Amino acid sequence: MTRKRVKAALDRVLAWPPERQADVARVVELMEERSSSVLRLSAKQVAEVRRRMGDRNPKLLTLGQFKARLRSRYKG
C-alpha cells in the first residue's frame, strides 16, 4: 500500500464516529505491540503452522469445532 492510499484511508477514518475511530486506534496499537515483540517463530515453526492451517481434516479440534460437528451429526 502506498503512502497516498494510507493517508486516504486515514482521512476516511477521521469521518467515522468516535467509537469506530477508537477501534481503529486499538488495532494499530496492537499491531505496534506485535512489531515490538521479541518473540518470533522460526522458519520451521512457520512451515508447521502453514501445514496445520492447510490440513482440511485436522486431528485436533477446538471445543467450538467439536460441538459444531456433534450438532451437525446428531440433529433431530
What residue segments make up the domains of the chain, in order of their start? 1-55
The CA-atom distances, in angstroms, between 71 and each of 4, 31, 39 are 48, 36, 38
pLDDT of residue 39: 84
- Answer whether 49's CB lies under 8 Å from 41's CB: yes
pLDDT tens digits for range 32-75? 988 887 888 899 999 999 988 887 777 788 899 899 989 998 88
Cell of 40: 518470533
pTM of the model: 0.47
Question: Following CA atoms 18, 23, 28, 29 in sequence, which dihedral angle do they give, to the nearest 10 degrees?
Answer: 100
